[in-house]
Amino acid sequence: MAEHFGDRWRDDLQTHLFVQDAEAGAPATNLLFGSDLVGHPGFGGAESLSGDSLEPVWTPDGSAVVITATVNLDSAAHSQTNYHLYKVSVADRKVEALTEGDDWSCHQALFSDDGKALYCQSEPANEHVYNLTGIARFDWSDGTLSGEPRFITESFDRSVSGMDISANGKTVYLTDSIKQWLQQHVTYSN
């Protein structure tokens, strides 16, 4: 069944995540098949101009993939869509919510080179039509988030459209949504 979604019709197709060994003839494994996450009627990846994406990123130890997804896309016509991060184990296909809540969204996960931090683009969910997209930082240990997010761009007066992290993890480079060619940076101290 198709439903109208903004400027196009939303069909029953879903984006899934496949992995396979890098050898000829290796079978592909659908990591999300049968999970409660894709079973939810509001499941979807982060919206883009051409569809949606789960924005997959390998965990530092290579045992899982972190994805961006929503479970309330089915109510997008009358409420805000919230995106959150999920960890999908490659070994047993277990899906674990890393972030959650109705008061903010988190997408485009990125790990620091040393594997001790996970960054994401974040937006508050509130009564305002427009909110700035910022960067949240989490500590990462033993394959999961530890502690609360630190919103490291709260004083930045523009929306973040892209980011990268320096090799030493002390600087986050970002592009803003107004002047995409202008690179800004935020120095973060542990």
Would you tell me how many other CB atoms lie within 10 Å of the CB of residue 143? 13
Q: Is the pLDDT of residue 1 over 50?
A: no
> Does the global pTM surpass 0.85?
yes
Domain ranges of the chain: 3-187
The closest of 49, 42, 108, 45 to 79, measured between CA atoms, is 42
The closest of 150, 140, 26, 21 to 87, measured between CA atoms, is 140
- Across the range 93-110, mean pLDDT stands at 94
> Which DSSP string corresponds to 132-188?
--EEEEEEEETTEEEEEEEETTTT--S-EEEEEE-TTSSEEEEEESS-TT-EEEEE-
Q: Is the pLDDT of residue 182 over 50?
A: no
- Across the range 106-121, mean pLDDT stands at 94
Q: Is the pLDDT of residue 172 over 90?
A: no
- Give the model confidence (pLDDT) of 46-88 as tens digits: 987 778 899 999 999 999 999 999 999 888 878 888 999 999 9
What's the rounded Cα separation, in Å, for the pair 122 and 148? 13
Q: Is the pLDDT of residue 181 over 70?
A: no
Q: At 123, list the tokens.
A: 């937006």
Top-level CATH class of 3-187? mainly beta
